[in-house]
Amino acid sequence: MHALPPLITDLTLIAVYAGITTLIFKWLKQPVVLGYVLAGIIAGPYFTLVPSVTDKENIQIWADIGVIFLLFGLGLEFSFKKILNVGKTAIITGMMNIVFLLFIGYLTGQMLGWSTMNSLFLGGMISMSSTTIIIKAFEELNLKKMKFTDLVFGVLIIEDIVGILLLVLLPTVALSQSVNGNELLISTLKLLLFLVLCFITGIYLIPTFMKKASSYMNDETLLIVSLGLCLAMVLFATSSGFSSALGAFIMGAILAESHQVKRIEHVLKPVKDFFGAVFFVSVGMLVNPAMFIKYGESILYISAIVIFGKVFFSCIGFVISGQTPRTAVLCGFSLAQVGEFAFIIASLGLSLGVLSDHVYPTIVAVSVLTTFTTPLMIKSAIPFYNKARELLPSNVKDFIKRTLIQSNENKGEDNNAWNELFKRYFLRLSLFSIILIGIMNVSFHLVAPFFKSIFPNIFARILNTGLTLICMAPFMNALLVLKGKLSRLYIDLWIEKQSNRTPLLMLTAFKVLIVALFLMVVVHELLTTNPYVTGFLVVLTLFLVLKSHWVSEQYMKIEARFLINLNREQIEQQIKETEIESKSIKQKEWLDSSLEVITLTLLKEAPWVGKELKETEFRDKYAMNIFKIIRGEQIITIPRSNEKLFEGDVLTFVGTPKQIKRFKTINQNNGILIKDSDSSMILHDYILNQKSDAESKDKTMLVSCAFLVTPESGLEHHNIVDAQIRNKTKCLVIGVERKSSLFINPESNFMFKEGDLIWLLGDKKSMTQEVLHQMELNEKFSDDKQEEVKISTQSA
């Protein structure tokens, strides 16, 4: 009989145990991550009651694969633009959390008698919160759309970035068995150089490639290409001396800028979920459950440090950065846990052989405890804030007030012209210097040996020097020539004061000196050491770089392509808004002429008296919409389907002239007694008349707006009745635009399709927030008081 390889047998056990525990934890309404860890403990070599995985090498293989896909998925949800948009609040709070908890974690380890390396890794593991657990808690408590959650996610982005940095720096410390400042600095600079080059090159090339190849990519091809790019970057990162996790994260972040990122996330989700589960199961397999009892006191102590430390330092960071105490408490209580990065760092320590056996199960137990406490902490945030506000001394309250006032006053200081100039100047200087260093390294270590192997020595040196300078020229031009806002700032400061000119000239001279040094290194390394020849070539190259239109055009093309790829989402959103705006102009044309309003009064004998709207045939039989009922002093705008009609009700209908005529003719022929206003009015004129009639008792303000049917809207393949648009939005569907077709006042069984533009009519006062946002009214309905009521209700 043919025996299965051990690797497949192990995967079978992992999948079976993970499936069982996932179902149990879903039934218990607990995070499935904990179920995966439990499955790992059951499948691990320390639990012998059931068949288990005994080969630790296989466990490590599955853990490595799981980390790659976990970080790749994290990168796909990460966007380079997010780094630029997190704001000072996230940066201050995130860095304060990491720095202080790293230090406190180290001290805690030392107090527990742990070694220096164990203590250092402990600090790294407890310094970062869990994105997975926080998102799950927000979803369960229905808080994901609250304003404070954006601040929490901003902090998580900063922590993820620092977590990637720790994955590079901790091995450096671990292998040297000491904290060497020079080695850490060199490792940090290498990492920075690697990240910038990968992101710039990747964002320039990969999204462009994905767009050009999109016509050949079905879901299967897209999956294979994405996985191939991920694993290629993993191989490149490990070959460059970095971790596989870093390579996976970088490629995920690069693909996040592709126009196909939604499709990529969709096709990769099963793979990512499966191997993410495999990673968390592998975490459990490396845990000896007996350690939970043996080191129970340490686990409880570290858990308390995590909860109270994160709450304390997060709250301080948010208050210092200008957030209100209430927001600070909400955010701080949300961040009180450790998660996936702790497992990754712990796995890294084990693979390097620098962690003691008890550290891994300790941090797993701490993660389990803090995962259970996270929802409780979020629920208790408002009650804690209310109690703390009463107990805080007056001098502390005054200090917080002064901090908030000072923070708000300082918001305008960043507009200082010199600050803006320095920020842009040094950003460009750093960015282009890193690119030039990258080009030089490729030339020195890859191109030069290749050319020497196929060309005569002197010809190879001349050819390589010329090729290197051509590749560097566009970026040297961008560094030397002032462009855009930097140019305007420079000119404004030059004109503003005579004293500004000397420092401006010094900044210009410094840039020229930096570029000249790069040129000298290239010529000296690749061509000649003769100082006269070197000086001549440097001056000549500087002149050509500054005067050549071709060089400037090449840089502009590179920058344009890079910015298009980087700002893909904003560009697509602007295109979509432009399309809707153009359709809005078209809509005004048919709205002005195709829909009319008529008012009818129900008499006693009318067959609809005493019936609910859904029992009448206004919509189904006549395709007529009632958008207003006047009942004495009461005015009901956009009545619900269960609204009952009474004698004397004045009904206002909207429909096409043909629908209105048909309705009146049929009912008059059937002898139905209704009191007709005998005149109709174009809907557009009716709206304008209502807005201008200041003396009218009817203060409703009818407005129209449009919704685009997308796969995310939930309207696709639903008809008007099933979509419940009237009840959900408090609006009527008055028209649907589908490509070149127009459906005015469609019947209730009309089926929506992707790309449809649905036009709604409703009273501005009673419209839902979603509709008002679509109209770009920018009205705020989720203010702090509403959040407090909602969270307090959840807590109760």
Q: Of 257, 310, 305, 298, nearest to 133 (Cα)?
A: 310
pLDDT band at 687; cut points 50, 70, 90: low
Residue in this structure with the two tokens 């202080």, named with its chain if needed? 100
Mean pLDDT of the chain: 77
User: Given this model, what pLDDT does residue 781 score?
Assistant: 32
Residue 280 has pLDDT above 80, yes or no: yes
Residues 6+ apart with CB under 8 A from 6: 55, 58
User: Given this model, what pLDDT does residue 287 score?
Assistant: 80
Residue 508 has pLDDT above 70, yes or no: yes
Residues 6+ apart with CB under 8 A from 570: none
User: Given this model, what pLDDT does residue 356 score?
Assistant: 83
Q: Hey, what are 357's tokens?
A: 């056996």
Helix axes 116-126, 147-176, angle to 10 degrees: 160
Please state, in angstroms and rounded to a whole number, the distance separating the CA atoms of residues 392 and 315: 14
Please state, in angstroms and rounded to a whole number, the distance separating the CA atoms of residues 338 and 361: 14
What does DSSP assign to residue 355?
S
Stretch among 118-122, 248-252, 599-603 having the lowest mean pLDDT:
599-603
pLDDT tens readout for residues 545-581: 888 888 888 888 888 777 777 666 666 666 555 555 5
pLDDT tens readout for residues 721-766: 777 777 777 777 878 887 767 777 777 777 888 778 888 877 766 6
CB 282 within 8 A of CB 346: no
Residue 697 has pLDDT above 80, yes or no: no
pLDDT tens readout for residues 479-502: 888 777 777 777 877 887 777 777
Stretch among 171-180, 420-429, 442-451 having the lowest mean pLDDT:
171-180
Please state, in angstroms and rounded to a whole number, the distance separating the CA atoms of residues 80 and 74: 12
Residue 777 has pLDDT above 50, yes or no: no
Q: Which residue has the higher pLDDT, 177 or 100?
A: 100
User: Given this model, what pLDDT does residue 795 score?
Assistant: 35
pLDDT band at 181; cut points 50, 70, 90: low
Residue 620 has pLDDT above 50, yes or no: yes
pLDDT tens readout for residues 624-664: 778 788 888 788 888 877 788 888 888 888 877 777 777 77
Q: Of 156, 142, 158, 98, nearest to 123 (Cα)?
A: 98
% of the chain beyond a pLDDT of 90: 2
pLDDT band at 308; cut points 50, 70, 90: very high
Stretch among 43-52, 282-291, 711-720 having the lowest mean pLDDT:
711-720
For residue 443, how far is the Cα from the chain centroid? 37
User: Given this model, what pLDDT does residue 785 score?
Assistant: 39
Residue in this structure with the two tokens 């909860």, named with its chain if needed? 307
pLDDT band at 618; cut points 50, 70, 90: confident
Rounded to 10 degrees, what is the CA torsion of 154, 160, 162, 168? -170
Q: Which residue has the higher pLDDT, 346 or 769?
A: 346
User: Given this model, what pLDDT does residue 429 score?
Assistant: 81
Q: Which ranges constitute the DSSP H helices of 213-295?
A: 219-239, 244-255, 261-285, 290-294
User: Given this model, what pLDDT does residue 6 score?
Assistant: 76
Residue 415 has pLDDT above 60, yes or no: no
pLDDT tens readout for residues 90-116: 878 888 888 888 889 888 988 888 888
User: Given this model, what pLDDT does residue 346 score?
Assistant: 83
Residue 700 has pLDDT above 80, yes or no: no
Residue 587 has pLDDT above 60, yes or no: no
Q: Which of 73-77, 124-128, 135-139 has the highest average model confidence (pLDDT)?
A: 124-128
CB 33 within 8 A of CB 371: yes
Stretch among 60-64, 76-80, 503-507 having the lowest mean pLDDT:
76-80
pLDDT tens readout for residues 184-209: 667 667 777 787 788 888 887 888 88
Please state, in angstroms and rounded to a whole number, the distance separating the CA atoms of residues 172 and 2: 45
Residue 589 has pLDDT above 60, yes or no: no
User: Given this model, what pLDDT does residue 769 score?
Assistant: 54
Q: Which of 580-589, 690-699, 754-763 has the highest average model confidence (pLDDT)?
A: 754-763
Q: Hey, what are 600's tokens?
A: 């009818």
Region 294-302: what's the mean pLDDT? Answer: 88
pLDDT tens readout for residues 381-413: 888 888 877 777 777 667 666 665 555 544 444
Residue 471 has pLDDT above 70, yes or no: yes
User: Given this model, what pLDDT does residue 121 score?
Assistant: 87
